[in-house]
A and B are shown apart, each in its own frame.
Chain A
Amino acid sequence: MSKVNVVFFASLKESIGQSTFQMTLNFPLTIGELKQQLAEELKDGKKLLESGIQSSIDFEFSRDTDTIPETVKEVAFFPPVTGG
Chain B
Amino acid sequence: MIRVQHEDFSVDDLYKGLLKANQTGAVAMFVGLVRQFSDIPNESCSFELEHYPGMTERNLQAIVDEANTRWPLLDVCVVHRVGRLSVDDQIVFVGVSASHRAEAFQACDFIMDYLKSRAAFWKKESQGSESHWVEAKDDDEESLVRWSK
Partners in one complex: yes
Which positions in A face B, CB cutoff 8 Å? Answer: 7, 9-11, 14, 52, 56, 59-61, 76, 78-84
Complex-state Cα separation, A27 to B124, whole angstroms = 36
| Chain A residues whose C-beta falls within 8 Å of the C-beta of B119 in the assembled complex | 81, 83-84
Other than the given A56-B120, A81-B116, 6 more pairs (CB < 8 A) read A59-B54, A59-B58, A82-B122, A82-B134, A83-B92, A84-B32
Q: Chain B interface mostly helix, strand, loop or mixed?
A: mixed
Complex-state Cα separation, A59 to B118, whole angstroms = 12
Closest partner residue, chain A, to B115 (CB atom) = A84
Q: Smallest distance from the beta carbon of A25 to chain B beta carbons, Å?
A: 20
Complex-state Cα separation, A40 to B30, whole angstroms = 44
Complex-state Cα separation, A52 to B50, whole angstroms = 18
Task: Name the residue in B50, B51, B116, B122 with the highest tally of chain A Cβ atoms < 10 Å from its Cβ.
Answer: B122
Complex-state Cα separation, A80 to B133, whole angstroms = 11
Once the chains bind, are B123 and A82 in contact (CB under 8 Å)?
yes
16 contacts between A and B (CB under 8 A): A56-B55, A59-B52, A61-B118, A78-B120, A79-B133, A79-B135, A80-B135, A81-B117, A81-B118, A81-B136, A82-B116, A82-B121, A82-B122, A82-B123, A82-B133, A83-B120
